[in-house]
Every structure is written in structure tokens, then in C-alpha cells.
Amino acid sequence: MADTTEINGTRYEFEYKLSNSDGELKFNDTTVNSFEIIDNFFSPFLSGSVTLANPFNFIESELLLKGDGTDIFYIKLKPVDDKESVLEYEFVIIGEQNFIDDGTALKNKKVYFLDSKDAYALRAVFPYNKKYRGKAGDIIKDILKAFEFPIDEDIEPGDFIIKDNPEFIIPSLAYRYSDLLYYILQRYYYIDGDLGVKGFLRKVDGKYTIQIISKLYSENEKNVIETFTSADLASTSKPNPNNHPQKADIKKYISEINSNDFKTPFTSISNAFYMNTLVSGYNPILGESELVEVRLEETRDKWTQKFVDVFTSIGGPVDPFLNLNDIKIGKGFKILRLPGNTFDNAKIVEAGLVNDFIFLNMQLNLTVVGDTKRQAGKFIDIFKLKNENVDSDKKMLGRWFMTSVRHVKILNTYRNEIFCTKTYTGKG
């Protein structure tokens, strides 16, 4: 029978295990003072840390680490009453830190810093004379297959084509597969209609795939997983014109927002990232340099169609939110030169600007009672039970995209720290 413990008043099955080729060492729940698992939308690989009680340095007396990437820490946490919801991961230990108590060795603690096993495997040195050719998504698929990672065979290849890779660079002897992977992901773009957008490498249902950001937003109805209420306990919402029509269930007792950290982007963001761009490139056929404009106004209008108009509210259509003014839209250019042809360069810049509009927008950070089902790359709804005619509701309420979810267990408490972004406001 699995070991169980009570966290936040709920029974959980758990297993914590340290292992390498010399053996394994299991820990009970009281030995694991805390752990943090970080699920970040911008990285396909999880990371985290775990803090263990280490009285009289008992861990070292039972099992010595090798420090060569073969030291594995296993974490499993599953609600007893929910067979489908589970946190279960194997991490490579990439570092440690010891905290020695001055009074008694009984209070010693040890922290292990954790990285995904897959991320660590990709640190293998990339062969100097090896080359990949073809569409970026197909190359990413080939790299993942080379390491026998589970992949979605229908990975979107995208529209960026690499003739020779590494392209326009000579890799050093320390160049690794992870460097190659991120090099390609930086240049990956997908043309959705006439708008260049980015794809993000993610692990979904146990398989790696590339999620096109515009498709995630267009399919937000099926990607929303939970509704949060900023009022008292409730199971249904009453009309507030800024509420999104309720799609996902409210989880009683753990979907209440008692406090939040809401931020609006200021001019320090818009001045640094929201700019018209002159993209410089070279046309090898004509044998001359080219300049292509990527303008805020044109990109904003296309962005609005794909990342704002897909949402609604009880009160009617919503408005895009961007910290722009007429002077900024009409004037001010930065010049950018990238390796590659001019068309690719312009689409990469356009896709990057679309990302800025999405992710350097309104931010909301929540700390709520933990739930093992929450994950980055999904949407949540936030609503109020009543309409108080508060202007801030136009920003706060509605559908948010989760960019990061942290699963944090400390002693017998478990919480989620959720980081979200939003592209629209209610009317006005």
C-alpha cells in the first residue's frame, strides 16, 4: 500500500526517492521539508528544488552522489481520491547546498537543485561536422527522436527553412544539442493567415509537441481548465459585464482568490519592446541589400484579430489592451539585422513583436491552495459575483493565460503560484 500524508486537509499518496547506480534511498514525508516544481510555458523542461532534513548528515552515510548526471531524484504526489491527477517526475540533481546548524547537527538540512532528465540529456556535445536541413519543426523532431524522447508525430514543421545548420555560425567544440535546439526555436515561426507567430516546444500528455500560440488562443474554449472567484465561496457566477461566460468549473475551497499581484505594463516596457522595426537583409539573387518595415500599427491590427477578438464578456465585445500612443505608432524605428533572407528575418521580428504584445502585457500573479492538475499553457477564468461598477474589473476579470505554474509544498501545506497574462479589457 502506498504511503499517504495529509496536506491542506486532503489525503495524498507520496513517494520521494534518491537513486544512482550504487542504490536508492527513500524518504518519508516529514524528511522532505519542502519542494518546488516549476512549469514554465517558455521552457519545455521542468526544473525545481527539494529541501531535506539531514540530521547528522545521514544522507551521505547511506548514499553518496556521483555528480555525473546519474543522480536521480523522484517525486510523486497524488490525491488519494483523484486517480488522474498526479505530480510524478524524475529529475537529475545538478547541484546541492548544505545548511549546517551551529547548535546541533540534528537540524542540518540539504537542498538539491533539480533539472529535467531530458534537458540534461540534451547537454550532449553536438558533433562538429553534423548538419540538419529542412523545416525547423522537422529538425526539432529529428533531434528529439535521436534521444528517443516521446514525440507527437504531427509536430507542426513551421515556415522557417534551414538549408545548412548551424547556419551562418561555426559551432565551438562545446556546442551542445540544447544549444542547437534553442537556436532553432528562436527562429521558428508559423504563418497564421498573414501573421507570423511563434511556436513553443511543450510536453503535452507525455509527448513533446510544438504549440502554435495563435492556435492556443483561437482554441481557448477547450484550453480553459478552471474558474477562480474573487468573492466568497460559490459554484456559479452572477452577471458582471466584465466576466467571461463561464466555461470551466469552480473548485470549492481552492478556487477563491484572497489576494493577487496585478501589474500593468508601463512605458519602460513599451519603449524597450514596442517599436517599429527596419529589418535589414541581403537578397542573394539580386545581389543587393533590402530593408523591410515591420510596423506597430499593422501588427497590432492583425494581433487584435487573433489574440483579442477570440474572447468575449457577458457585457459584449472586449477591447485590446496595448500601451501605445499615436506618436509611438507613427515615429521611432530600430534597425535589426539577422542572419538569413529578408522575408524570414521580417517574419521572425513580427512573431517576436506579437509575443511582446501578448506576454509583456497585463500580468497577474496568484497564490492559491494547490492542485496537481494545474499546468502552464492553459487558460483560467476570473469572475466576480456582483457588479460593483469598479473600473478595475475591466482589467482584472476575464480569461487569463497561465505562463508559469509553481507547485510548492512546505511541510504539510501545498500551494500553487500562478503567473498569468491577458491581452484585453472590458469595454471602456
What whole-number distance in Å separates Cα of residue 275 and Cα of residue 297? 10
- The CATH class for the domain spanning 4-116 reads mainly beta
Please report the pLDDT score of residue 52 as a whole number.
97
- State pTM to two decimals: 0.92
Report how far residue 36's alpha carbon sits from residue 113's, in angstroms, rounded to the nearest whole number: 10
Predicted confidence at residue 233, as pLDDT, reads 46
55 pLDDT above the threshold of 80? yes
* Cell numbers at 420, concatenated: 498569468
CA distance 307 to 213: 9
Please report, rounded to a whole number, the percentage of residues in the chain having pLDDT higher than 90. Answer: 65
- Residue in 272, 296, 299, 289 with CA at minimum distance from that of residue 337: 289
Joined grid coordinates for residue 40: 514554465
Binned at pLDDT 50, 70 and 90, residue 154 comes out as very high
pLDDT for the residue numbered 383: 85
pLDDT at 254: 67
pLDDT digits (tens, 9 = 90+) for 383-411: 887 777 788 889 999 999 999 999 999 99
List of residues 6+ apart from 284 with CB closer than 8 A: 341
Band (267; pLDDT cuts 50, 70, 90) = confident
- CB neighbours (10 Å) of residue 282? 15
| pLDDT over 90 (residue 216) | yes
Could you read off the pLDDT of 118-143 as tens digits, one per residue? 999 999 999 887 888 899 999 999 99
pLDDT digits (tens, 9 = 90+) for 221-263: 999 999 988 765 444 545 688 888 876 777 765 667 777 888 8
Could you read off the pLDDT of 9-35 as tens digits, one per residue?
889 999 999 999 999 999 999 999 999
- Round the CA-based radius of gyration of the chain to a whole number and report it: 24
| Per-residue three-class SS string for 99-167 | ECCCCCHHHCEEEEEEEEHHHHHCCCECCCCCCCCEEHHHHHHHHHHHCCCCECCCCCCCCCEECCCCC
Position 234 scores a pLDDT of 47
Contact 238, 385 (CB under 8 A): yes
Please provide the average confidence, as pLDDT, over all residues in the chain.
Answer: 89
Pairing verdict, β 224-229 and 379-383: parallel
Helix (H) or strand (E) holding 36: strand 32-40
Portions of the chain given CATH number 2.40.10.10: 4-116
The average pLDDT across 100-119 equals 92
Mean pLDDT of 318-330: 82
What are the C-alpha distances in Å from 39 to residues 133, 233, 291, 384? Answer: 31, 28, 39, 28
